[in-house]
Amino acid sequence: MKALKFNQIWDVEIQEVEPLHCIEPDDVVVDIAVCGICGTDVGIITGSYPVAVPGTTLGHETTGVVAQVGSGVTRFQIGDRVVINPTYSCGHCRMCQTGNLNHCEMKLGTEAGVSYDGAFAEQYLAKEGYLIKLADHVSMEAASLTEPLSCTLTGVDKLGITHTNIRAAVAGSGPMGMLYLWALHERGVNAFMIEKNPNRVQFASQNLPAECRLYTDFAEALVKEYGDQAALIDLCVDTTGQLTEYVFDHLAPGGKLLNVALKDKHASLDILKIADKSLSVIGSIDSLNNSFERAYAMIRDRVIPADRLVSQVFDFEDYQQAFLTVGCDIAAKTQIPLSTPNCKVLLRLSDLK
């Protein structure tokens, strides 16, 4: 079968590898339908997120059809359409035992598609407990957003939202920003969005919840929303990693800043303000507390318009074109500005529907 292998920074290629087989009783081999491109994949290829093991098959936001089941598998049959939870946890290590399953010490630091083989491949070797069967009406494309939405719900959980009439913002209208905006909306919070890139703006402006506003500049947003660029806000989700200090200085007492950007960047924060204004600076990654199951249910029940957030689908062989769409020019080994309106970009591994 074919798989997209990470060799080293800026060196990825489709290779022919051995087909997969069930080994353990709870193994399930899935024929992949689609797999989404994530900022993690771009970070691995460009070297800005130096966590991947060389030789690993990338890709972790994925759906497909069960092709083989291990001897102990009872809940799935060959032909079942499934979404794959790529984030392993052992249940026994100190992190799992203290409720931090998303930081399991046995998942080799990261997850499928980073430190062990992922799903930019014709097949993926899954465990029965990490699959959800898709309802007939849920498309492979929409369900592939289950993983990023699951990460989003983990972050929203950490915000501990108790009031809906708060001043809230989401920075960055890539897939994570859009999912955060929709997930907050589902909690009754209408955040405004900040996005500078005109292509991101163009896509986002057509796919926001009706009540949400979009601005290219934070200070302008504060003036338009609250009449004053010194106005303070209660909550901000920063998916860009660029706004920590600016947002921190604009948090109201009790305010919360959630950073979900995997950026190698330092910020300077005033400790006095953290205590004196009861501020929270929070981080979040991966899935926790059944967020994966909850994310799937929200996509299934169309609470989140996942189909609409898929902007492009490319054939597997055209992976370089797909990565180019999100600003990752593999051939030229450089990152470039986005040149087309886009949000979540998928690779199609087969014509399975």
Residue 78 CB, nearest approach to Zn ion (Å): 28
Angle at the Cα of 260 from the Cα atoms of 259 and 264, rounded to 5 degrees: 85
Residue 39 CB, nearest approach to Zn ion (Å): 7
Binding to Zn ion in span 35-74, by CB under 5 A: 38, 40
Q: Pick the stretch among 92-100, 120-128, 155-163, 210-218 that binds Zn ion (CB under 5 A).
A: 92-100
Q: Answer yes or no whether residue 153 interacts with Zn ion by CB under 5 A.
A: no
Which one, 38 or 149, has the nearer CB to Zn ion?
Answer: 38
Q: Answer yes or no whether residue 93 interacts with Zn ion by CB under 5 A.
A: yes
Which one, 174 or 341, has the nearer CB to Zn ion?
Answer: 174
Q: Which of 69, 96, 236, 347 binds Zn ion (CB under 5 A)?
A: 96
Q: Pick the stretch among 91-99, 175-183, 211-219, 259-267 that binds Zn ion (CB under 5 A).
A: 91-99
Give residue 321's identity as a one-letter amino acid code: Q
For the window 311-340, what string marks contact with Zn ion as x by the rule CB under 5 A? ------------------------------
What one-character-per-residue DSSP string does 162-223 give? --SS--EEEE--SHHHHHHHHHHHHTT---EEE---HHHHHHHHTSS-TT--EES-HHHHHH
Q: Pick the stretch among 68-76, 86-94, 201-209, 294-302 that binds Zn ion (CB under 5 A).
A: 86-94
φ and ψ of 97, to 5 deg:
-70, -20
Q: Pick the stretch among 6-14, 81-89, 180-188, 232-240 that binds Zn ion (CB under 5 A).
A: 81-89
Q: How many residues bind Zn ion (CB under 5 A)?
A: 8
What is the rounded distance in angstroms from the CA atom of residue 250 to the CA atom of residue 222? 10
- The helix/strand count (H/E) of the chain reads as 12, 18
Q: Pick the stretch among 34-42, 68-76, 229-237, 338-346 that binds Zn ion (CB under 5 A).
A: 34-42
What is the rounded distance in angstroms from the CA atom of residue 161 to the CA atom of residue 7? 42
CB atoms near residue 302 (< 10 Å): 12
Q: Which of 106, 135, 230, 331 binds Zn ion (CB under 5 A)?
A: 106
CB atoms near residue 177 (< 10 Å): 25
Q: Answer yes or no whether residue 90 interacts with Zn ion by CB under 5 A.
A: yes
Q: Answer yes or no whether residue 347 interacts with Zn ion by CB under 5 A.
A: no
Q: Are the C-beta atoms of 286 and 296 separated by less than 8 Å?
A: no
Q: Are the C-beta atoms of 64 and 76 separated by less than 8 Å?
A: no
Q: Are the C-beta atoms of 184 and 169 separated by less than 8 Å?
A: no
Q: Answer yes or no whether residue 99 interacts with Zn ion by CB under 5 A.
A: no
Q: Which of 30, 37, 67, 104 binds Zn ion (CB under 5 A)?
A: 104
Which positions touch Zn ion (CB under 5 A)?
Answer: 38, 40, 89-90, 93, 96, 104, 106
